[in-house]
Structure 1
């Protein structure tokens, strides 16, 4: 909840059962007050290395995509490289919208560790 703020949205609810088959749900509120609800199921969980989960907005559940976070320790554990891949979008517009949101989220995550 500290860094998941795409496009200046606030996370107002988050729940996660981080295990294969476990579910997550995040509700975000825009600065204008509109709420967005996303959820999914964890497909792969490798502690300190990898998370793979489905991603679907409540408003368009049929447009499920796939998110992969990978962590790689560097320089003897002094740094960690995070690789994010979000794929299987319904169309290019959805891909582009998510790219902007994820870039904002990753910038905020970086600020948390600065």
Structure 2
């Protein structure tokens, strides 16, 4: 809840049941006051290695895509690889790239703050 969403977003709610067939739902608002809801189903769950889940916006459920998160040990840390695929079109792909980039910038700041605390 502290870092999910594009730059400037505020997470309103987040629920996750990370098991095969489990569902997740995240809602956030952007600085312009718009609410965004995304949800999906976990397709693959390998603890500490891999998560694969569907991704569909509440306003466009027919445009379902797929997200794969792969985790690899790297010294004292972890390398996270995100693959988001099966987009409806190139503009959707580009908007998600921007959103994920902001999300990971926020995650990096959050992790740095936690390391200092």
Normalising by the smaller structure, the TM-score range is over 0.9
Q: Match of 1:97?
A: 95
**Which contiguous aligned blocks of 4+ residues in structure 1 show a shift greater than 3 angstroms?**
none
SS class of match (1:63): coil
Structure 1 position 48, deviation (Å) = 1.0
Structure 1 position 110 matched with structure 2 position 111: no
Please tell me the root mean square deviation across aligned C-alpha atoms, in Å: 0.9
CA distance in 2, matches of 1:49, 1:110: 20
Deviations 1:25-83 (A, max 9, x none): 011111121111110000001111111000000100000000011110012xx021000
Structure 1 position 29 matched with structure 2 position 29: yes
Structure 1 position 86, deviation (Å) = 0.2
CA distance in 2, matches of 1:102, 1:85: 10
TM alignment of 1:20-59, pairs within 5 A = 20-59=20-59
Q: Match of 1:82?
A: 80
The alignment's TM-score, normalised by the length of structure 2, stands at 0.92
Q: Which stretch of structure 1 is more off in the superposition, 84-93 or 25-34?
A: 25-34
How many residues are aligned here?
A: 112
Structure 1 position 113, deviation (Å) = 2.0
The alignment's TM-score, normalised by the length of structure 1, stands at 0.94
Q: Match of 2:62?
A: 62
